[in-house]
A = this chain, B = another copy of it.
């Protein structure tokens, strides 16, 4: 095994210097947020990344937990085009569940692995200012990000803390909004000029047949969509990733939360394990992570 260690380190160590002080926004969801074993592995990896000097910002959702709490309170969840219909009562359930419970469980989990995390909602220090969703009439208090005030997140990152962000927004009229976690993560990554935005979910990456693409650029993506290789619900995700890239985020990664240590492998090996989205297929960007 020793024979392997040398090359692994030779490969990994330069990334540490490269990424030191850089910001990674991680959208945390899927199995990695449910399975006890994967949760621990994720928390361990995140803590390690923070300890080698990478600024980690977590964004989480929690739809299932919200539905469960609502049920217990005798409230039925309704969805339109994948967005939860959110009245005054439901936004309270969301605040209680996301900010009060799901968020704090992640904070506690990271603390158990030796990291220092801090729960954040969009209301704290006016962090996420929101607009009503275009379909607000039917969806109610569903919002979209109007502006991310990065001062507070920056403060936490500079202090070595890990912000764990629940995607709840506010507006000047005293309303609280339910915001899609993927969108919030993207907006935060753009506002922070993040080096990477990493989606940890149950999706392994972009498939082309059996193969997972290591790297995909804009032109390739357009071709794959035209050829039907990328299709269905994956299309908006891919388009959104390139939009985020265009807005100044270094790279977007899609990795499989079901594989242990996938986060480390994606970051510290040239090959990676998931798919990274880059602007163009030039040698520098595409040959490494």
Residues of A within 8 A of B (CB): 1-2, 4-10, 12-14, 16-17, 44, 48, 51-53, 69, 72-74, 92, 95-101, 104, 107-108, 111-112, 116-121, 123-126, 151-152, 155-156, 159, 161, 168, 170, 174, 176, 260-261, 264-265, 268-269, 273
Contact = CB atoms under 8 A, between A and B. Distances in A.
Contacts of A120: 118
A253 to B, nearest CB: 16
Given A12-B12, A97-B100, A107 B119 contact: no
Central interface residue in A9, A72, A111, A156, by most chain B CB within 10 Å: A9
Nearest to A155: B159
Copies in the complex: 6
Given A100-B96, A117-B125, A8 B10 contact: no
Given A104-B176, A111-B123, A125-B161, 8 more contacts: A2-B273, A6-B261, A104-B121, A108-B170, A116-B152, A118-B124, A118-B152, A152-B159
A9 B273 contact: no
Given A9-B264, A96-B101, A119 B119 contact: yes
Contact of A152 (B73, B95, B98, B161): B161
A108 B96 contact: no
Contact of A53 (B17, B152, B269): B17
Q: Which 8 pairs show the lowest CB-CB distances between chains A and B?
A: A100-B100, A6-B261, A96-B100, A96-B96, A99-B100, A118-B124, A8-B8, A116-B125
Contacts of A260: 6
B123 A104 contact: yes
Contact of A9 (B8, B121, B123, B170): B8
A265 B146 CA distance: 39
B95 A101 contact: yes
Contacts of A176: 104, 108
A176 B103 CA distance: 14
A217 to B, nearest CB: 24
A72 B44 CA distance: 37
A100 to B, nearest CB: 2
A99 B125 CA distance: 15
Contacts of A8: 4-5, 8-9, 12
A30 to B, nearest CB: 19
Contact of A108 (B48, B155, B174): B174
B17 A51 contact: yes
Contacts of A108: 123, 170, 174, 176
Given A95-B101, A125-B116, A264 B5 contact: yes
A117 B124 contact: yes
Given A9-B12, A111-B123, A124-B119, A52 B1 contact: no
